[in-house]
Amino acid sequence: MKITHVAIWTEQLERLKDFYVRYFKATAGEKYVNPDKGFASYFMTFQGETTLELMSSTNLHARAEDKSVYVVGLAHLAFGLEDEKAVDEQIRRLQQDGYALISAPRRTGDGYYESAVLDPDGNIIEITC
């Protein structure tokens, strides 16, 4: 058994698709639209077999804005890069383009080098090596 994909709801489907294409080299599949249900989605493919589904609906509800509070549900998405230099460069690029840094690059207690930013919808994105 394996996980086939993870899905994220968004109010701005095209904006979020463009973010993952630009910063994480995702390839967007064909846009799926179901007008009867007010639903649209893209399957985003990353290196290897990793797939993320971005979904939008006319019936979405807002969530808590405070990222310092742990809530039930998706905690973060993590992207692995080849080394610390690549992590630092990616974080620098995201910050220069206005994305909020929520955790500066650091070595974790379990040996990872990581940093975290918020994507356009406020999802926590870890960048690690």
- Look up the domain containing 109 and give its range: 75-128
Tell me: the pLDDT tens digits for 2-53?
788 999 999 999 999 999 999 999 999 999 999 999 999 999 999 988 999 9
pLDDT at 64 over 70: no
The predicted model gives 65-94 an average pLDDT of 85
Q: What angle do CA 49, 19, 13 make, to 5 degrees?
A: 90
Task: Give the pLDDT score at 66.
Answer: 61
pLDDT at 70 over 60: no
In the structure encoding, which two tokens stand for residue 89, read together?
């460069």
49 plus 24 within the same structural domain: yes
Task: Give the pLDDT score at 98.
Answer: 97
Tell me which residue of 51, 48, 49, 56 sits closest to 20, measured CA to CA: 51
Residue 91 falls inside a structural domain = yes
Task: Tell me the CATH number at 18.
Answer: 3.10.180.10
Q: Domain boundary residue among 27, 59, 91?
A: 59
Counted domains in the chain: 2
What is the spatial distance between Cα 44 and Cα 71, in angstroms, rounded to a whole number? 25
